[in-house]
Homo-oligomer: A and B are copies of this chain.
Amino acid sequence: MTEVSRRRMLGTAGLGVLAGAAAGGGVAGVAYAHDEPAAPAAVPFFGPHQAGIATPVQDRLHFAAFDVITDDRAELVRVLKEWTRAAALMTAGRPAGDAVPKVAEAPPDDTGEALGLPAARLTLTVGFGPSLFDDRFGLAARRPAALVDLPHFPGDDLESARSGGDLMVQACADDPQVAVHAVRNLARIGFGVVAVRWSQLGFGKTSSTTPSAQTPRNLFGFKDGTNNIGGSDTAALNRHVWVARADGPGADWMAGGSYLVARRIRMHIETWDRTSLKEQQDIVGRDKGEGAAFGNAKERDPVRLDRMPPDAHVRLAHPSTNGGARILRRGYSFADGSDGLGRLDAGLFFLAYQRDPRSGFIPVQRRLAARDVMNEYLVHVGSGIWACPPGVRQGGFWGDTLLG
């Protein structure tokens, strides 16, 4: 990989930004370093949709949910503008600011651990949780109807310390150090206004949005996301992922955005590992080696529901049994140490984007929670839903259709 590294930006990258911000009129204006070319392997930050949704899934994840700890709307807007500026830089492979400030008595404006690393296809995606639409910021009337509180599903064992959050930041990159650096610097920039509520590292993607690529495997050892929505399938994205202006109450500011549902799904991998291959395959509805659905020879042959056990996971989750509902999955495997009982705390950090959770995740999960035999081998322990606004225009900021 030959990429322009952050190294040569060191000590100069922040200057254009600071000069631009000063010229642009302080906090009211958000300035970007338009003139510097982005590093190769950089994903464009600006556009009609936020990057990190239809973007080909990167290898690693750092996900963070934040609480807003002020009720000053202007402070929240200031942080979102500063986040936008920093995100535009970091996704281009540049520091968030001066890692080595000219005045050594000042703290650096970038924490430095990604110096010398490439952009690594970093994307940063922001969402607003239901709790942001309480009475603190005058947003109650702007809450989209689709941003529902998720219902309780049978079997849920949710921890509040792994659930919810006024804001979320999804950082995806091919290098985890780049993803962690980005979240850490956003937390640093937001000090005093937002605080990390919980965060989750994902070490391996479990779904792909690139149909031609090798399908990743989850920690059950099965290929996952074979029939996922392709990131370049514009028709499917417009139908199932991107919100349209006419979508109903609160949809005006969400047009071009999407709703994210996150679930931390602990897998009982030790139990699964002692289960026969036959039972594993019956539960999933696919064979383990090739990933072909029952009755098929190849992974990508069309699923034939009649050839499948009635409660197989693939059958229960299939669009044809869910009124055509499709969701775009881009979840990651996690392994967070052990649980004190000699078992790995490992599983799937499920992330799914959709145009409307009421016809997307919620009905599918109701079916799965009620009937999926796979439930014997997993438990949902964390949960969240966020409205992810449309992409940022040049000169705009994250959420400006709501808060601008």
Contact = CB atoms under 8 A, between A and B. Distances in A.
A333 interface: yes
A335 to B, nearest CB: 5
A60 interface: yes
Given A184-B269, A277-B100, A113 B218 contact: yes
B112 A344 contact: no
Interface stretch (A85-93, A188-196, A312-320, A384-392): A188-196
Interface in A64-98: 64, 67, 69
B203 A201 contact: yes
Interface of A: 10-11, 60, 62, 64, 67, 69, 99-101, 104-108, 110-116, 161-162, 175-177, 180, 183-184, 187-188, 191, 195-201, 203-204, 214, 217-222, 269-270, 273-278, 280-281, 287-289, 333, 335-338, 340, 342-344, 346
Nearest to A178: B204
Given A203-B180, A338-B198, A113 B217 contact: yes
Contacts of A161: 340
Contact of A273 (B60, B107, B346): B107
B288 A100 contact: yes
19 contacts: A11-B289, A62-B335, A64-B338, A67-B342, A112-B221, A113-B218, A113-B220, A113-B221, A115-B217, A115-B221, A116-B217, A175-B204, A177-B204, A184-B219, A184-B269, A188-B273, A196-B338, A196-B344, A336-B336
A188 B270 CA distance: 7
A337 B337 contact: no
B275 A107 contact: yes
Q: How many copies of this chain are found per oligomer?
A: 2
A340 B28 CA distance: 33
A104 B278 contact: yes
Nearest to A336: B336
A200 B346 CA distance: 12
Contacts of A197: 338, 342
A76 to B, nearest CB: 16
Contacts of A183: 344
A191 B99 CA distance: 48
A264 to B, nearest CB: 10
B187 A112 contact: no
A118 to B, nearest CB: 12
Contacts of A196: 338, 342-344
A396 to B, nearest CB: 27
Given A221-B99, A344-B187, A344-B199, A335 B288 contact: no
B270 A187 contact: yes
B270 A191 contact: yes
10 A-B pairs with the lowest CB-CB distances in the bound complex, closest first: A112-B221, A195-B342, A176-B203, A104-B278, A177-B204, A100-B289, A113-B217, A196-B338, A104-B277, A188-B273
Given A187-B270, A336-B336, A104 B276 contact: yes
Given A269-B184, A278-B104, A203 B177 contact: yes
Contacts of A204: 113, 175-177, 180
Contact of A111 (B177, B214, B273, B342): B273
A44 B187 CA distance: 42
A343 B191 CA distance: 10
A188 to B, nearest CB: 5
A404 to B, nearest CB: 27
